[in-house]
A = this chain, B = another copy of it.
Amino acid sequence: MSKEVKPDSISLCPLSAAAALEQELLCIFGTGDLGRSLGQRLLQTGYRVVYGSRRPHSCGLLPQGAQVRSHAAAAEPASLVFICIHREHYDFLETLAPHFKGKVLVDVSNNLKKNLYPEANAEYLQRLIPGAHVVKGFNTLSAWALQNGPSDANRQVYLCGNSAEAKEAVAEVATKLGFTVLDKGSLSSARELEDFPLQLFPEWRLPLRLAFGLTVFFFFYLLIRTVVSAYVEQGKDISFRIMASLANKVFPIVSLIMLSLCYLPGVIAAFLQLYRGTKYKRFPDWLDRWMLCRKQLGLLALGFASLHVLYTLIIPIRHVTGANHLILLPSIRLNHTIPFDTTMAWRTDSYYAMGILGFGLYLLLGITSLPSVSNALSWREFSFIQSKLGYLTLFICTFHTYLYGWDKFLWVSGYTWYTPPGYMLSLVLPSAVMLLKLLLVLPCVDRSLTRIRQGWERSDPEDDSKNSLLT
């Protein structure tokens, strides 16, 4: 209710008529998917919409309530024009330059590839029509998001432009549509905004490459140790093992290594802070990048662990339903009545129990990193789960692998061609991470680290008392 409304019962009726007239008129050039969705959303929010079209009388399905005119006629009454046209067709806009004088043009366009043109679309548009105030914006939204209204990650609209006033006018429309506006500065940021929707999982690239590299390495390492060595030394063809047995060795190894790579950068950062005696120095770039992709590393590790679980659970089916492996079993089962060994029973059952508990915790970590779940957690709860439960998961999974090894560490026969089995290699990194973490939680080390993280600096002894700043 606006401030003019004083005598309620009288003012409402005429005002409601006036309000209908007052609705701002916006113009949209382009009747493609994006133009239509944008128009529909604007109409729903209470704006009036006029489309500019080459062929005002045959331009397909437009949202109900919108008008269609020729480009010039459509731009005339509106002070804000959305340009929902492909860049290739911008040239015809130049002829309309006089109509655009002093108006705000919102460049909504995207390109199909990065670096397709020497300058950003919005900069090109500004060059074509110097008299208008070009604002780049809304281009990170899909037609779908525009039609259905903002949702979680589609809530933000990025704007950039040289005129603060023009940006404010666009920001007001975006806010009314329910979006949150983020000003990215002058029109020179337009390229950045135009590249944004072309990105494909930028934060997953490094972890995926790492996972791929590790998988390939361990695959060939184990291929040589098992299949090739069996063929060379005994002449047996056990190549079929590639599909299941070998995969079920590679996956848990990669999973454990990647899980420990999640926690290694945190440990390194802590030692770096201890060494430097301050938290106000920047970490080296590689460490920053590494720390930013910990979540992705962890999720990939969870994926490999899940495959390991499925492969493991499928083992007995292969034995029971396929006839091919069974020839090996009866001899074991019937002839040797192995004396029952309680220690081995403890070991086997502990091995499986640790595997199950480790996987359960792994899953818990995965679930809490779902956006909606992690958003519902307070910062302290999130860090409790990701750090305390994370290290517990790492410990249990490492222990699970040690139990797998058991006394085989000492068996000479396991070291085919003088190479250690894969699971031994996989134990190096997690053991190191846990050892370093153990050092960090020693009371004396922990105390120094806590002080540093609260802002204390070793290098500045004369002014300690006021040095602490909120973490």
Contact = CB atoms under 8 A, between A and B. Distances in A.
Interface string A13-51: 101100110101100001111110000000011100000
A243 B346 contact: yes
Interface in A158-197: 163-166, 168-169, 172, 178, 180, 182-183, 196-197
Given A306-B360, A334-B330, A470 B85 contact: yes
A101 interface: yes
A158 to B, nearest CB: 10
A469 to B, nearest CB: 3
Given A313-B317, A376-B153, A377-B153, A348 B360 contact: no
Interface in A78-131: 79-80, 84-86, 88-89, 92, 101-104, 108-110, 131
15 contacts: A16-B166, A30-B469, A44-B182, A54-B466, A85-B469, A86-B454, A197-B379, A199-B381, A243-B346, A247-B353, A311-B356, A313-B314, A323-B332, A324-B340, A329-B333
Given A152-B376, A183-B44, A352-B244, A10 B102 contact: yes
A44 B84 CA distance: 26
Interface string A51-81: 0001100001100000000000000010110
B307 A324 contact: no
A316 interface: yes
A438 interface: no
Interface string A326-347: 1101101110111011101110
The A interface, classified by DSSP as helix, strand, loop or mixed, is: helix
Contact of A180 (B178, B306, B357): B178
A237 interface: yes
Contact of A1 (B168, B197, B307, B317): B168
Given A243-B353, A244-B353, A318-B349, 17 more contacts: A1-B24, A1-B172, A8-B103, A9-B102, A9-B103, A12-B163, A45-B183, A54-B463, A144-B379, A149-B156, A149-B182, A201-B384, A240-B349, A242-B349, A313-B314, A316-B320, A371-B372
A439 interface: no
A3 B44 CA distance: 20
A374 to B, nearest CB: 9
A200 to B, nearest CB: 6
Contact of A327 (B5, B60, B281, B337): B337
A116 B15 CA distance: 35
B310 A322 contact: no
A470 B84 contact: yes
B280 A60 contact: yes
Given A313-B314, A315-B317, A470-B109, A333 B330 contact: yes
